[in-house]
Chain A
């Protein structure tokens, strides 16, 4: 019915609770093209992460489904790799070994030992982390950990990269460094990305489209905003750009006027 690369079709999900089923998502519908960078934005608790987890295959939709490249998603897998909010590196492995675990698992049959090593180093290089290859996660900063998390996700050569508030736990400066790195990588690899964020600037700066979600329960896609800013984008140049500020204003007005969180605290 649809020819898009990734389609999320009429996805609803209910969680059983002692007080009866809780409907978190109601008919979320979204089509994403290959190489597109999508941001999901909304108030906390609106089900953004649930959407991502359904695409990842970690949750199963109660009705509707997700089709990636002609195949229905039924379980988690490396072709939909996830960058978790708190990096989720295995603390007992070095950075190199963390990426190696992914590469070894995914490319056991298709690459030999030498090729796998080169591929690990290539991915560490993409995120500028070759210098910390032998370090453990506890020995590097939060931003560096998240870089390794991204390297691990990229190393699986995913069809779609899922990022769950990847920079949410970082300070503003580190966050902007990582956003720049991500844009560089994106310019090189042109991955299909779904990123969850609650940072309006981040969404406008990085995305091709911003998907704004209504408040839960029964959250769904509220509006979709096309960001038609030319790439490469530079945060400094854009700071004064009227189009950029116009997009920002639109997202802000969606979040704070039309769909402000009812019990906002």
Chain B
């Protein structure tokens, strides 16, 4: 049991939790405590120092919105945001409850009556913004992966296709997707027209912007991974007369999986960063909009709230990367490779 838990932690990059399991199950306590101190104690001390210097320096910076918030103020704001969220959710529930009661009463009076159902249109809370951003980044990222991996494979297998696409890739890769944002916005407004749209336009715009920056790392890494397959392995597939599809699934894909995942990880990281900026710039719902709104709001709480958002963005980015790392470890055949 404990080995299984430890293996799980190691595969998810949470190997620092493993000594705790060992400590609880009781093998060699002194040694485990030592490991815990090294793997956890030192980072914790460093973190405490960071908080200390933050607190010390923040109170010395005066802005038009008051001094910069220190750790305590930020903590207060974070709690405030959670309270706000809960209050909003309660309001929403109450709204639906009232509506149901009203409709039920109406139907009881006259079963033929037409009942109207209205959705609650409350303010998006901080937690809602987080979910919106996550949903958007994954949509954009998945869309990019579905485009980039197949093209990358074709580029890796076929030198002609690669030479044809290489200039395009090299030119578009360094472009900040934010430069695309106005064009994407205009194109989406012009093309995505429907009376009952499945997605909001702002969502589509943000997602496509994320897609535009997620494409390149995946595409290039896939092409390189596929292109660098051992020549002998290709010869093996020739000698075995594997069909095109078999060659793809038995040789090409497994062999390039590590590189493909390196690309995917980079893509998701870049996508998350770009999404926040895009949301700020385009006023599309999400964490970026939250930051921008708070900035425009300019209350004495704003800086603290923005700081909460900054930390949330960092933390989510970290979790996303761990998620990809875990997935990469899971699918990679080369267990000896050190993935960080």
Contacts and interface: CB of A to CB of B under 8 A. Distances in A.
Interface string B219-246: 0000000000010110110111110001
Pick the most buried of B240, B257, B333, B335: most chain A CB atoms within 10 A of its CB: B240
B235 A88 contact: yes
Interface in B276-322: none
A105 B236 CA distance: 12
A105 to B, nearest CB: 5
A84 B254 contact: no
Interface residues of B, number: 20
Given A88-B230, A90-B233, A90-B254, A105 B242 contact: yes
Contacts of B238: 57-58, 75-76
A209 interface: no
Contacts of A102: 240
Contacts of B195: none
Contact of B334 (A58, A76, A80, A138): A138
A193 to B, nearest CB: 16
A56 B234 CA distance: 14
A82 B250 contact: no
Contacts of B333: 91-92, 136
Contact of A78 (B233, B235, B239): B239
A12 interface: no
A58 B240 CA distance: 12
B251 interface: yes
A39 interface: no
| 7 A-B pairs with least C-beta separation | A92-B333, A88-B232, A76-B238, A92-B254, A76-B239, A105-B240, A84-B232
Interface of B: 230, 232-233, 235-236, 238-242, 246, 250-251, 254-255, 257, 333-336
Interface of A: 56-58, 75-78, 80-82, 84, 86, 88, 90-92, 101-102, 105-106, 136, 138, 156
